[in-house]
Amino acid sequence: MIEFYKPANPNLWQGRNDPEAADKPLHWHQTVQFLDLENSGLKDDKQTGKTAFLGYACEVGVARNNGRIGAAQGPDAIRKQLAKLPINVGNMRNLFDAGTVFCYGDALESTQEITANYVSNLLGHRFLPILLGGGHDMAWAHFCGISKFLQQFHPGKTIGILNFDAHFDLRKPIRFGHSGTPFYQIKQRCDAHQKPFHYLCLGIQRASNSQILFDRAKAWQVDFVEAAECNLTCFESLEKRIQDFLSKVDCIYLTVDLDVFSSAFAPGVSAPSPMGIDPNTVVQVLQMLKKSKKLISVDFAELNPAFDLDNRTASLAARLIHHLLH
């Protein structure tokens, strides 16, 4: 039997040990706990404030989309950078590594189904899931998992997708889904279940999307902000757009495709671009989302360590997670 899941690997969580504070953890690698979602299961407790990292080691969707191969190594590369982060607030004892879902052969759809089930399970046990990718086809699996959870426990609540991305990822699947189709697939699911499709895309680049995709976004009333307007100079206008979006939904699913950043910040992605947004803009948006109390699940997609100079992109993902959790 093919095993699509492997539990957390503690060896990935290595970092500095300060002899001056031997009795107090100062870095994430000293406080993270490890979960085996298949064997040990999840405790049925009512504790909140827990975060679980789940890897999505899959690049099949990227390959189907003619992207650069290497994203399957993304989750562990991010973990290695997370391990080094300092603890700046509280004791941070509610960090968990929940292991990784793998894709074997061309079995993307099976990988997505398994991932969706794990996401739903984590949400049901009061975790904030943070998925580490892996191709952006992860978003389809992630949304299905959130939907499954809400349908079971909060059937009346609406989901808003906030996507930092240079691309709409609204391409129509011809035979199979891939890293360019997740939000098309989500729209079809919303229609089939008679649910609204709330989708805000920040960082869109004209040079990265065909006119068909702009037309589709308009027809489906997708709200978007182009990369040139996603900066701190224009932040007052950007903030209003986001606040308006937040007011329409009950829950926010945040997905960050790391190709939204300029290759100066994020060279290690499947589809790099010399243009892109500044990470400091995303940091400000993260603060907004935290204050809204609507953030339900998060992912970081498209890291490709094979092209990552000095671990720059993996470190960027880790720093953004650090801002989110502090």
| Residue 314: CATH number of its domain | 3.40.800.10
| Cis, bond preceding 133 (omega within 30 deg of 0) | no
Six token digits for residue 322: 């650090």
Residues of the chain with pLDDT under 70: 1-2, 21-22, 90-93
Strands (E), the chain: 5-6, 33-34, 50-57, 95-102, 127-133, 159-164, 198-204, 223-226, 251-257, 295-301
Q: What's the Rg (C-alpha) of the chain?
A: 19
> Following DSSP, what letter does each residue of 277-312 receive, concatenated?
B-HHHHHHHHHHHHHHT-EEEEEEE-B-GGG-GGGH
Number of domains in the chain: 1
Q: Dihedral sign for Cα 81, 85, 89, 93, please.
A: positive
Residue 22's pLDDT is what? 66
d(CA 92, CA 86): 10
Residue 18's pLDDT is what? 78
Burial of 254 (0-12, 13-18, 19+ CB in 10 A): buried
Q: Which domain holds residue 53?
A: 5-325
Q: How far is CA 243 from the centre of its chain?
A: 20
| Distances 161 to 59, 206, 312 between C-alpha atoms, Å | 22, 21, 26
d(CA 37, CA 50): 15
CB 25 within 8 A of CB 121: no
